[in-house]
Amino acid sequence: RFSESPVLYPGVPELLRQAMPSELFIESSSWPQNNENEEASLRKALLELEKATPNDGRKRILELEKSHGLRRGWVWAKLGQAPLAVALAHLAAITERTDTKLGGASTAEMANLYVDAAWAVDTAALSAMASIKSTADAQAIGKALNAVYRPWLESAAEHLQQLAEKDPLPGHDGQGLEDVIVESGGLVLFADGLRFDVSQRLAERMRAKDWSVTMSTRWAGLPTVTATAKPAVSPVSNGIKGVSLGEDFLPALADTEQPLTTDRFRKLLAAEGYQYLSADETGDPSGRGWTENGGLDKLGHSLQGKLAGRVEEQVDLLLERIESLLDAGWREVRVVTDHGWLWLPGGLPKVDLPKYLTASRWARCAAIKGASKVDVPTVRWHWNAHERVAVAPGISCFGAGNEYAHGGLSLQESLVPVIRVTVGETKAKAVKIGDLFWAGLRCRVRIDRAQPGLSVDLRTKVNDPGSSVTQTRSIDGNGAASLLVADDELEGTPAVLARIAHRSPGSGVFGRRDMAKIAR
């Protein structure tokens, strides 16, 4: 019973710790000391990868996976006490996918290879770091990622830059606006820094809700900073042009050549019939709209390597925002973004670019001063092909200490998603929790507009069925259910009421959650 629902028996681990027998022939998975010793051994082995070659690093990780992977089935993993064993699964996935470099004879071919499968390497790297919590474990995972992820990342960026030197990425006149323009009833959601691999997580959640989802990609404006790349994916792009590069890579209005400030950008949207919606507005769905979400990029700059632990939260927030817009009556939501980003725990490498050669210097790009010659790659400014921008080679930065950065030329920064989301006319209205109250340790809930096959569950973690503190109950014909928490020691524990719509055996979809504390 403890193994099936360990959270219901918080006193058992300490009793097991005290009761571990001294005999040789015992079941290793039963005793917390064994798991702790194995975690310490794995941590030491991962730290030792710091000086390993890529081939040796991949070989060693696969060896560790054979010896430690089984611990993910131990009860201690369910309790979150085997984070390195959990992270090891993602490291092994990286190892298997990076045994060959990401190639391609053209930028388009390279983009196709990335979209088809290679993006999973990036998401596995983020997932590995998101699996751990302690500083010591973060250092161990960081060493492993530098051994097997960094070489692949560097090779791909260098190859793309070599291809782009011969066949430059399209500028302002090189890509159409068909994928970023919506008709009446459509809304554009600009999500700052929605990297392609993260967009795949978002699309997967959308499909789980039975929404119609269509994904495509386009090249971001260069340099891959918001000032340049955001207006490039806006439906008012034709009203914007590049005059001189300046220090901040900001384009101008096409008619007056005034700098494109936030206020002027919104006036352009209004002139084209787009409502600008703040984060808590849903607007008039009979027209067209534009709204923004900048949480992901903002967190990346502030948290750097620690961003990995917050990605899922940001995906959830984006999903909830999209759902609120669809529920408000918008027939289509078009999700666009300005750029992606490079991410590497421990820091991206540094390359020198003297300040006296630049008018401004950012993490991965720089405005060249006058006719100065620089010893780093240059690209055409998206808004004016006659203006050149210096970009850092490979995955390097023009400064030290950057674990999160963008502005340069790499698949992670430059290949951006466009997601089109629609819901059919027969879409049921959003299910809502109408009432929730406690009687002793029994939670009684009523669901408004309950659909057939709907069940509810109480959990301590939203997306973890293993954290359930009660038995899943089906909603009756009146939309009601009763959930009993058997363990009175859980009183006062924060819990989540999860709604599960069963479409097939063993699968489920989470809807909006209501937080509650288990109370008498």
Q: Which residue has the tokens 């930065």?
A: 397
Please report the pLDDT score of residue 414 as a whole number. Answer: 98
Q: What are residue 259's DSSP bridge partners?
A: 252
Give one DSSP letter per residue of 384-441, joined into a string. Answer: EEEEEEEE-STT-BSSS--SEE-SS-SHHHHEEEEEEEE--TTPPPPPEEEEEEEETT
Please report the pLDDT score of residue 428 as a whole number. Answer: 42
The answer as to whether 193 is a domain residue is yes
**Residue 14: Cβ-neighbour burial (10 angstroms; 0-12, 13-18, 19+):** exposed
Same domain, 414 and 463: no
Please report the pLDDT score of residue 25 as a whole number. Answer: 62
Task: Check the CA dihedral 368-371-376-378 and report its sign.
Answer: positive
CATH at 511 = 2.60.40
Cis omega (within 30 of 0) for bond into 13: no
Largest Cα span, the chain: 85
Distance of CA 363 to the CA centre of its chain: 21
Same domain, 216 and 296: yes
Per-residue pLDDT of the chain (520 residues), as tens digits, is 899 899 999 999 999 999 888 776 678 898 999 999 999 999 999 999 998 999 999 999 999 999 999 999 999 999 999 999 999 999 999 999 999 999 999 999 999 999 999 999 999 999 999 999 999 999 999 999 999 999 999 999 999 999 999 999 999 988 888 999 999 999 999 999 999 999 999 999 999 999 999 999 999 999 999 999 999 999 999 999 999 998 999 999 999 999 999 999 999 999 999 999 999 999 999 999 999 999 999 999 999 999 999 999 999 999 999 999 999 999 999 999 999 999 999 999 999 999 999 999 999 999 999 999 999 999 999 999 999 999 999 999 999 999 999 999 999 999 999 999 998 654 444 567 778 888 888 888 888 766 666 788 888 876 677 788 898 888 887 888 898 988 888 888 888 888 765 433 333 333 333 445 565 4
Closest C-alpha to 441, from 470, 404, 461: 470
Q: Could you give the CA distance from residue 149 to residue 129 in angstroms, rounded to a whole number?
A: 12
Same domain, 18 and 106: yes
Please report the pLDDT score of residue 463 as a whole number. Answer: 64
Same domain, 315 and 452: no
The answer as to whether 496 is a domain residue is yes
State the total domains in the chain. 3
Same domain, 87 and 196: no
Please report the pLDDT score of residue 54 as a whole number. Answer: 93
Q: In what order do the strands lie in the sheet with 454-459?
A: 473-474, 454-459, 494-501, 514-517
Please report the pLDDT score of residue 21 as a whole number. Answer: 83
The answer as to whether 384 is a domain residue is no
Closest C-alpha to 262, from 212, 297, 227, 214: 227
The answer as to whether 109 is a domain residue is yes
Give one DSSP letter per residue of 350-371, joined into a string. Answer: B----GGGEEEE-SSEEEEPTT
Same domain, 131 and 212: no
Show which of 129, 164, 199 is a domain's final residue. Answer: 164
The number of residues in the chain equals 520
Please report the pLDDT score of residue 366 as a whole number. Answer: 97
Host domain of residue 277: 178-342+405-422
Same domain, 237 and 288: yes
The answer as to whether 356 is a domain residue is no
Same domain, 160 and 189: no
The answer as to whether 461 is a domain residue is yes
Same domain, 137 and 238: no
The answer as to whether 358 is a domain residue is no
Q: How many CB atoms are located within 10 Å of the residue 516 CB?
A: 17
pTM metric for this prediction: 0.81
Same domain, 97 and 184: no
Same domain, 113 and 148: yes
Same domain, 132 and 189: no
Show which of 422, 457, 486 is a domain's final residue. Answer: 422
DSSP letter (8 states) at residue 450: P
